[in-house]
Chains A and B, each alone.
Chain A
Amino acid sequence: MSDVPHPSKSIDLRVLRYRPAFDQEPVFVSYRVAYSDDMSVLQALQSIKDTQDGSLSFRWSCRMAVCGSCGMMINGAPKLACNTFVRDLGPNAVTIEPLQNFPIERDLVVTVGDFVRKIESIYPYIIPKVPKPVEDGAYLQTPAQMAAYESFSDCINCMLCYAACPQFGANPDFIGPGAMAMLQRYNGDSRDGGRQLRLDQIHGEDGVWSCTAVGICSDVCPKQVDPANAVNQNKTNSALDFFLHALRPGERS
C-alpha cells in the first residue's frame, strides 16, 4: 500500500496504542520503519500495518490533504499524517498520538460524531435571501462577494484546530473554531439570509464568547482557513446583534 521506493534509512515511531477490549489504558508501542526522503507519516503507518502489525488502526483515505481523515498528534503537534514527512521529524524517535481533546475509540482513531453534530447545529446550508427556482438560473456573485466567505469554505473538517484549542480542551461543549468558520462561510455569503438564525446559535456560553483569542487554531490549519478570524468576526457580529436586540426588544421572538 505504501508506495515508497528505495528506503535507505530507518527511524523509530512511538505510536500510542489503545485497544478497548485489551488495554486498561493507552500505551506506547515502538516500531522501526525504513524510510526514504519522500515517505509521509501516513505511509510509515501503512508500512507498519502491512508488514509488522495488522492490528494498528488509523483513519486515512485521499493521501493528498483534502479528505481530512488522517489528523493526529505528531511529535505533540496536530498534523495531517499524509502531508507530514518522516524526513522532517528525525533523528530521534517520532511520537504519534491520536488527536488531542477527543475521546480515543481505538489506537489513533478518535470520536468524530460530536464535531459533526456541531457542524449540523449551525444550519450549514444556504437559506436563500431571495428564493428563486433553478430554472431562473444562477445567482450573481462578484469575485469580491465570494472573497467574503471563500476561504472559510475551504475547511476540510480535519479537526486539527479543535486539537489545538485550549478552550475546547477545557470545555468540550464549546462550538469550536471549525464550526465557527463554517458558520461564517454561510453568514458571509451574499446569497444567504440565515444569519440571524445562526447568530442565535452562538450567543450562548458554549458559543463564540468561550473563545479567549489564543489564535492557535489558525496556526495549525493545513488549509489557511483562518478560523480565528471567523471567531473574531462573529464576536463582533454577536455583540452587535446583542446590542441591537437590547435597543429593539421584542423584534426577535
Chain B
Amino acid sequence: MEHFDADILILGAGGAGLRAAIAAAESAPDLAIALVSKVYPMRSHTVAAEGGSAGVIQSHDSLDNHFNDTVSGGDWLCEQDVVEYFVAHCTREMVQLEHWGCPWSRKPDGHINVRAFGGMKIERTWFAADRSGFHILHTLFQTSTRFPAIKRFDEHFCVDLLVDDGRVQGAVVLSLSTGEFTAIHARAVVIATGGAGRVFRQNTNGGIVTGDGMALAYRHGVPLRDMEFVQYHPTCLPGTGILITEACRGEGAFLLNKDGNRYLQDYGLGPAEPQPRNKYMELGPRDRLSQAFWHEQRKGRTITTPQGDAVLLDLRHLGPAKIKERLPLIVDLAREFMGIDATTTPIPVRPAVHYTMGGILVDIHTASPLAGLFAAGECSSVGIHGANRLGSNSLAELSVFGRVAGEQAAEFARGSSAPRRSDQAEAVEAGALALLTQKGSGEHHAALRAEMGASMEKGCGIYRLGTEMQETCDKLAELRQRYAGITLQDKSRAWNTDWVTAIELGFQLDVAQAMAHAALARTESRGAHQRLDGFETRDDVNFLRHSLAHHQGAAAPTISYAPVTITRSPPGSRAYGAAGEHEEATRKDAAAPIGHPPTQDTLHV
C-alpha cells in the first residue's frame, strides 16, 4: 500500500470540492492539498446542472427577499443564521466565477443578465444559457490547474475514512486504473461528494451520484440530517429521468395536462396569466409542482407515453430565436432523447428524484461534529434548504460553502498536529479485498440495486404512507442482509467496475435507510415530505425540528431531533400565487434588513 502525506484532503472534485481546493490553495499556499475524485473532475455531476445560480443583483431586489424566498421555500426548516450568511455571500461568489472566466449570459450592454426561477420573488438567477453547471464546473476545474499545491488523485475511489483519536486523519483510496490502494494522511478532510439520488429508480442524477461521502461520515458516527427530504424535480424526461431545466419555465414555458389546461391553477398557484408572474403557476416551487403532477395523474389528466405518464412542457410561444438562445441544451436533449423539436412540439415531462436536501450534519463553518471533518455541497446539510430547496440555490451553495470549507479546513490543518499512522489503512484495504474475493451466495448486486430503487420510489415518493414507508424500511433491512452475501463476477484488479459499484451499493443502502427511517418517523407533512395517512398538515409543535439519523452498524438507524435556528422569520403559512401575495402582505417580520444588497450599481456587474 502506498502512503501520501497531505495537509488537507478533499474527497470529491465537483463544484464544491474544486471551490474548496481553490480556497484552500489561495488562503494557505504552503499547505499540501490532495484532491480525490472517482472520475476526472469535469465529469462530476455539477456538470449536469442547467438553469443557473442565485445571487441578488438587481436594485429592486434585496437580501431579505432572497432570505424570505429560501426560508419559506424550505417550509421553515432552514437554519436561518446560515441562510443569512448564504444570501449575503452568493453574489460575491458569482462575480468570482465571472473573474475566473465563467461565460455568464449578458445583456446587450455587457452587464450580467439574470432570469426568473421557481419560488424566487425577483429575478436573481445568474445563468450561462442552460449549461450553467457545466460552465461552473469547467471554469473551476480549469482554474484549479493554476495551483501547484493541489495534487489531484483522478479516478481514485474513497473506500473509507481514517478516524483515530477522536478526529479524522485521512482516507484510503482505490485507484480505479490499477486496483491498488493508497492511504492519504491529512490533518483536515473535506467531504464534497455530492448527493444520493441514485438510490431511487427514476432520477435526474448521473451514475456516480451514490452518496459515498454521506455514508462514510455516517458510518463514523456523524449524523445525517433531514434525510427524509428528497426533491422531485417536476420536469424530467419519462423513462430516463433526464433533467429538463426549470429555466424553461423561468423563460415563460407552460405546463399543460392532456386537455391542454394549465393545471397548476387548480392547486393554489394561480391565477394563470399569459406571462407567469414570479412565485405563481409554473414559477412555483418544485415540491408543489411535483405534487400537482401526482394529483393530475390520479385524476386521469396526464398523457400516456411508452415510458409512463407525463404532462406537457410547452415552449412554443417563446419563439424559436429565444428558445435557441436561452435553452440550447434543452433543444438538443428533446431532439436526441425524445425525437422532438421543442420549438414546435411540447416536451412530455414528469417528476423524477433530483436532489437530497439533507446530508452530513455541519455547522455554519461547514464543520461536522467529528474533529477535522468538513463537508460542503449536496452531500452536506449546512441548513439552507430546509424541507424543499429552491432551484438555483444549490450552485450558489456549492460556491459559497465550498469556499468556506476550503478556508476552514486550512485553518484547522494549521492548528492541528500531524496525522498519526496506524494499521487502520491496512484493515480498510483488507476489508475491500475481502468483498472482491468472497464466495458469497452467488447473488449479484445489480439485482439488489434495482430492488432498492423500486422500493424507495414506492415508499418514499412524492406522497408517502406509513405502511409503505415501513415496507421500504423492511426491504432495505433485507437488502443489507443479502448484500453481505453478494458474489462479484469480476475478481480482477484493474478497472474492476463490478467491485466499485458493489462498494457504492453498500453506501447507497446505508443512505437509503437513513432516508426511509427518517421519513417514517416524521408524522407530519412539510415541504417535500408529504403524507396521506392522517398526517397531512405541518405540525410545528412536534416537528419544527431537524431529524438526525444515527448509524447503528448492521441494525437500522436511530432517529433523534434537533432544534431549528429561527432568527428573523417565525414559521408562517407557506403559500404561492395570489394566496402567497396576500400572505406576504399581511406578514410583519420585524428585523433590520440583512446588510446592503450588492446591486448592479454597487458591484458594476
Contacts and interface: CB of A to CB of B under 8 A. Distances in A.
| Interface SS of B by simple majority | loop
A5 B446 contact: no
B444 A138 contact: no
A55 B605 contact: no
B411 interface: no
Interface string A14-57: 00000111100000000000001010000000000111011101
B566 interface: no
Contacts of A3: 201-202, 239-241
Contacts of A191: 99, 101
A240 B494 CA distance: 47
Interface stretch (A150-158, A166-174, A204-212): A150-158
A54 B492 CA distance: 12
A189 B101 contact: yes
Contact of A138 (B490, B495, B603): B603
Nearest to A136: B604
Contact of B494 (A60, A106, A128): A106
B47 A153 contact: no
B494 A20 contact: yes
Given A55-B489, A125-B100, A134-B99, A61 B43 contact: yes
Interface string B135-168: 1001000110110000000110000000000000
B4 interface: no
A193 interface: no
Contacts of B480: none
A189 B104 CA distance: 13
B318 to A, nearest CB: 18
A62 interface: yes
B195 to A, nearest CB: 13
A140 B110 contact: yes
Contact of B142 (A54, A83, A124): A124
Contacts of B44: 67
Interface in B33-51: 39-40, 42-45, 47-48
A244 interface: no
Interface string B592-605: 00000000001111
Contacts of A120: 145
Nearest to B328: A154
A125 B146 contact: yes
B334 to A, nearest CB: 11
A62 B48 contact: yes
B98 interface: yes
Contact of B490 (A54, A113, A149): A54
Contacts of A93: none
Given A106-B494, A116-B154, A67 B47 contact: yes
Interface in A123-166: 124-126, 128, 132, 134-143, 145-146, 149-150, 153-154, 156-157
Given A3-B240, A49-B446, A55-B490, A138 B142 contact: no
Nearest to B94: A138
A64 B243 contact: yes
B101 A138 contact: no
Interface in A85-137: 105-107, 109, 112-113, 116, 119-120, 124-126, 128, 132, 134-137
A139 B142 contact: no
Given A61-B45, A67-B48, A4 B239 contact: yes
A22 B142 CA distance: 37
A60 B489 contact: no
B401 interface: no
A61 B41 CA distance: 12
A141 B492 contact: no
A177 interface: no
A6 interface: yes
Contacts of A65: 332-333, 336
A105 B494 contact: yes
* Count class of interface residues, chain B: 35 or more
B493 A21 contact: yes
A83 B332 CA distance: 10
A65 B331 CA distance: 13
Nearest to B600: A137
Interface string A164-202: 000000000000000000100010010110000000000
Contacts of A128: 99
A68 interface: yes
A238 interface: no
B139 to A, nearest CB: 8
Given A3-B201, A124-B142, A154-B131, A19 B492 contact: yes
Interface string B241-284: 11100000000000000000000000000000000000000000
A105 B175 CA distance: 13
Interface string B437-454: 000000010100110000
Contacts of B207: 1, 60-61, 63
B475 interface: no
A74 B292 CA distance: 42
B101 to A, nearest CB: 4
B99 A21 contact: no
A137 B352 CA distance: 37
B145 A153 contact: no
Contacts of A69: 39, 43
Contacts of A53: 489
Contact of B112 (A19, A83, A138, A189): A138
B306 interface: yes
A138 B496 CA distance: 46
B490 A126 contact: no
Contacts of B243: 64
Q: Which 9 pairs across A and B sit closest by C-beta, in order of nearness? A: A54-B489, A137-B604, A140-B110, A55-B490, A137-B603, A61-B206, A50-B446, A106-B495, A138-B605
5 contacts: A3-B202, A5-B306, A57-B495, A116-B40, A157-B42
Given A55-B498, A105-B177, A126-B143, 11 more contacts: A1-B449, A61-B45, A62-B47, A64-B240, A65-B332, A67-B206, A138-B604, A140-B110, A141-B110, A156-B47, A157-B40
